[in-house]
Chain A
Amino acid sequence: MNPNATFNPSSVRAAKARLGVRLTKSLRTGIELLTVLLVVGGVTLLFVHSSVGWLLIGLAAIPAMLIEWYSGNLHHPSSEGETIDGLLSGDVLGQLGQNPTPQDIVKAATKVRGGMFFALRFGVTEQFLLNVTTDQPTDTAAIWQSALAVRQEVGCPHISGAVLVVAVIDSFHDSQSLLAHMKLSREDLIAGIRWYEHLRDLVVKNSAPKRTGGIARDFSFGYTPLLKRFAINLSDQVGMRISVDIESHKKAIDQLIDTFGTNGRQNAALVGPAGAGKTTIVHAFAERLLDAKEKLPPSLKFRQIYLLDSSALIAAAPGRGELEGLIMRVLGEAYSAKNIIICLDNAQLFFEEGVGSVDLTNVLLPILEAGNLRIILTMDEQRYLQIGKRNPGLVNALNRISITQANRDETIAVMQDQLIMTEYQRKVTYMYQSLDEAYRLSERYVHDLAMPGRALKLLESGATYGESGFITGNSIQQAIEQTMDIKVGVARGEEEREKLLNLEDHIHERMINQTHAVQVVSDALRRARAGVRNQNRPIGTFLFLGPTGVGKTELAKALADVYFGGEERMIRLDLNEYVRPEDVSRLIADGADDPTSLTAQAMKQPFSVVLLDEIEKAHPQVLTTLLQLLDEGILRDIKNREISFRDAIVIATSNAGADRIREYIQRGYKLKDFESQFIDELISSNQFKPEFLNRFDEIVVFRPLEKPELVQVVDLILAGINKQMALQKVTINVADDAKELLVERGYDPRLGARPMRRIVQRAVENLVAKQMLSGEVAPGTVIEITKSQVQQILGE
């Protein structure tokens, strides 16, 4: 128990806070008006020789003092002591009466900014909090205790409305379930208070006047007309952006100051992945250089950063040699001006020939090596290595500063600051859950960008999917679902739920039996769409074993068709084409070079069925490469990008041991009797390694189809033919004994049901074609096919 958890409503601070709350805006305006009237009236009376004027002027001091007192003290009374009434923020304290009940506290807290912040950003409204609190003054002590604990945990100077909201939830006996219902954790609420306090700090920081050197700042530095034409002055944009103080950026800026503040080569290469914030660092550096209050080496104070515009330079000097001349003049001007730092953003544009880029290595290398002109280069790691490979001297001349991608907390902090502009521009409000979701989903689905850039990209896309102006976790899910054509949330629509619950029936509409296999894939998909699966693995990984023509591939196709939206949603790899060790590179090739590689297809279509056909034929190195995919649901492509398979069902098929399955069946064994023994045999015969088989969620053995099932297969094929014939308004009906004959002729113990389609097509379609051409069939006719007709076509 904290002994300070006492509330004295009669303290002077409480009385001041109450007075502060009573002095509403309109009342304050009235008091200000009264002051002016008294002064003006007093002066006027003095001019008409009335000494009453002195009295009025003297009295004007009272309302004037009241207004000053309000803005300097009553509005935000400073904390006094460690008791509740000494720490409560003035706006809340001013609303509380003698013996506040928990519900009074809720009403007071939700009327002030901190409480409103939680209602907006977390959906924790006044009504919600009233439902979990009582109107018993005896329950208030628990809230005060919680409030002191929360304040201490967060490190706030006072107990704000935001702290009280969290304290109220904390003091609820089943707060965990309450938060779980809102898809929040206590850590989220604490992060919410920090976010609110951070925004308050930002307001204070940005309302403080900026010191940027004054009117004579650039008197000692040269004119820069060329630079103004061919570069963007980042220092002019200072104050127009919200700078984010994250640890990794601060470190990089300190390194820049160190590099440029000491003797040595005056250049720095910011090397890091796109989206990690290299350009943002340059902006923040520009801001720091212009801040008179910053402690900087004198040689850096008030220096300005110009971002060279490569396209403007190329457009102005199209001829051979002209560009080099222009660049020399621009850089010469920067050097002579003495206060310029040149920034080559995406520096590869200046070191390689291409559209919008030009190789100026010959001009820039001597300048970089001499190290007199201050230059910042930004580029990604890959380009840096490429440039280094082409020209090792260039890389040796650069002072490299590595920029790593932001971690989760830093990314959330960047998003919170970025939201200030986005919300203003898009007229929306982001809820906390949307930030969390943007980080989680972008980490999985947004490629080619690092954090925080990738999360910001998704967060901005989410603005289009708001619900009444609020961007929620669902909005972010919708954004990624719409842009990437995947399903990331739990099943929402009635139609989808029905499909999931009856998935087996839907699949059996196009494939016969193999109920165990159908059930395991259906279960996996249901788990995924109910949100109860492991998010760090594929939806399901299955190995289908069995002879040819028993429905292994057909099940994968059926699943893609029924649930994933069509057979084209299946990524199929025939692994008999991956029999050499060098085929691994084909598997993980960059999409730009080989759009058919596994990683390229998964990148384009992460929500799909991945069918790895005839897996036993793949080279062991290919199988080793696939282990990570099966285990963690990721595969690194040739560019070392993480490609996610966590929204795919991975099905591998194999004919290995097909003869053994047939043998077991012929000897009268049931599938479940020999399944595990059969898998042991596969391992002992070295067809599969145990560590490979262990990666699958389930290994399903398909048995050869029996005759009654084959008749059903014939029915399925006939249903397909009838569907085609629907255009001609003709229906085909095959007699039962004719179907049995088709099964007899179409079944091959080695090829399973595969020849069946050919036989049925030969017998039925040929017969129908002849009848139609001879004019025996009119639209609306039902063609009856008998056993003798089939016999005649297929021969005795």
Chain B
Amino acid sequence: MVMLLVTSLLTWWYTDGWRARAGIVSHRLDATIDYFSFDLLLKTLFAPFRQISAGNVDGPLEVKLRALVDKLFSRVIGAFIRMTILFIGGVVIVVQVLVGVVILAGWVVVPLLPLIGFGLFVSGWAF
């Protein structure tokens, strides 16, 4: 029965267990993407920030021109803030992907750790 259980553990570890771990990594990535509002930022990259100076303005040419400049300024500010967040978010995501890859690769190695540890112990190597 013990052998059956060990086999069952190893089977689970390399099938459902790994898939579940990959699911967790993927969920975390999703959460980060949601947190940094990636799709929204990309869709509204040049939209006026916080609707400041947004909307149609009616009046003399001078007023219209001023509104246009204001709106343009608002768009530039918006684009700058959005790009900054996109950059920070991008860095976080890259780091997270790397960590995820390490976790998933490490997951595969874990059952071998006792053997590896034993090998290193026998070799006598230490810091």
Contact = CB atoms under 8 A, between A and B. Distances in A.
A211 interface: yes
Contact of B31 (A15, A62, A211): A211
A65 B9 contact: yes
B110 A61 contact: yes
Given A215-B37, A217-B40, A55 B17 contact: no
A215 B123 contact: no
A58 B116 contact: yes
Contacts of A57: 113, 117
Given A54-B120, A57-B113, A62-B114, A69 B9 contact: yes
B17 A50 contact: no
A488 B123 CA distance: 85
Contacts of A19: 5
Contacts of B102: none
B111 A337 contact: no
A676 to B, nearest CB: 82
B40 A216 contact: yes
A53 B126 contact: yes
B117 A55 contact: yes
A51 B127 CA distance: 8
A64 B120 CA distance: 20
Nearest to A54: B120
A337 B51 CA distance: 7
Contacts of B17: 68-69, 72-73
Interface string A58-81: 111110111011001100001000
A490 interface: no
A668 interface: no
A46 interface: yes
B74 to A, nearest CB: 11
A39 B60 CA distance: 75
A221 B125 contact: no
A45 B51 CA distance: 61
Nearest to A55: B121
B4 A12 contact: yes
Contact of B37 (A15, A62, A213): A213
Nearest to A16: B8
Given A65-B13, A209-B27, A215-B85, A220 B44 contact: yes
Interface in B62-103: 78, 81-82, 85
B85 A61 contact: no
A58 B114 contact: yes
A214 interface: yes
A372 to B, nearest CB: 12
Contact of B8 (A12, A59, A78, A213): A12
Contacts of B48: 220
A227 to B, nearest CB: 13
Nearest to B113: A61
A148 interface: no
A682 B119 CA distance: 112
Nearest to B38: A214
B36 A214 contact: yes
Given A46-B127, A220-B47, A54 B121 contact: yes
A336 B54 CA distance: 8
Nearest to A61: B113
Contact of A213 (B4, B34, B50, B118): B34
Contacts of A73: 12, 16-17
Contacts of B125: 51, 54
B124 A51 contact: yes
Contacts of B13: 65, 68-69
Contacts of B30: 211
A61 B114 contact: yes
A338 B51 contact: yes
Interface string A195-237: 0000000000000010111111111111100000000000000
A403 interface: no
A751 interface: no
B9 to A, nearest CB: 5
A216 B82 contact: yes
A735 interface: no
Contact of A219 (B1, B81, B115, B117): B81
Given A15-B1, A219-B82, A64 B110 contact: yes
Given A56-B117, A58-B113, A209 B35 contact: no
Interface residues of B, number: 48
B20 interface: yes
A214 B37 contact: yes
Nearest to A43: B127
A546 to B, nearest CB: 82
A332 to B, nearest CB: 11
A65 B50 contact: no
A671 B47 CA distance: 96
A219 B78 contact: yes
Contact of B50 (A46, A58, A68, A222): A222
A424 interface: no
A794 interface: no
A73 B27 CA distance: 19
Contacts of A46: 126-127
Centre residue among B48, B85, B113 by max chain A CB count within 10 A:
B113
Centre residue among B34, B48, B117 by max chain A CB count within 10 A:
B117
B122 to A, nearest CB: 8
Nearest to B107: A68
A218 B121 CA distance: 57
A58 B111 CA distance: 9
Contact of A59 (B36, B54, B111, B117): B117
B27 to A, nearest CB: 7
Nearest to B117: A58
B97 to A, nearest CB: 18
B75 to A, nearest CB: 11
B120 A51 contact: yes
Nearest to A56: B117
A328 interface: no
Contacts of B121: 51-52, 54-55, 58
A15 B4 contact: yes
B115 A58 contact: yes
A54 B117 contact: yes
B109 to A, nearest CB: 9
Nearest to B19: A72
Contacts of B123: 51
A221 B50 contact: yes
Contacts of B59: none
29 contacts: A12-B4, A12-B5, A15-B1, A19-B5, A45-B126, A53-B126, A54-B119, A55-B120, A55-B121, A56-B117, A58-B113, A59-B114, A61-B110, A72-B12, A73-B16, A78-B16, A209-B27, A211-B31, A212-B34, A214-B34, A214-B36, A216-B41, A219-B40, A219-B78, A222-B51, A223-B50, A292-B34, A302-B40, A336-B55
Interface of B: 1, 4-5, 8-9, 12-13, 16-17, 20, 27, 30-31, 34-37, 40-41, 44, 47-52, 54-55, 78, 81-82, 85, 110-111, 113-121, 123-127
Given A217-B37, A220-B48, 19 more contacts: A45-B126, A50-B126, A51-B123, A54-B116, A54-B120, A58-B114, A58-B115, A58-B118, A59-B117, A65-B9, A65-B110, A65-B111, A69-B9, A69-B12, A78-B16, A219-B41, A220-B49, A222-B51, A302-B40
Q: Which 5 residue pairs spanning A and B have beta carbons closest together?
A: A58-B117, A222-B51, A54-B120, A61-B113, A216-B37
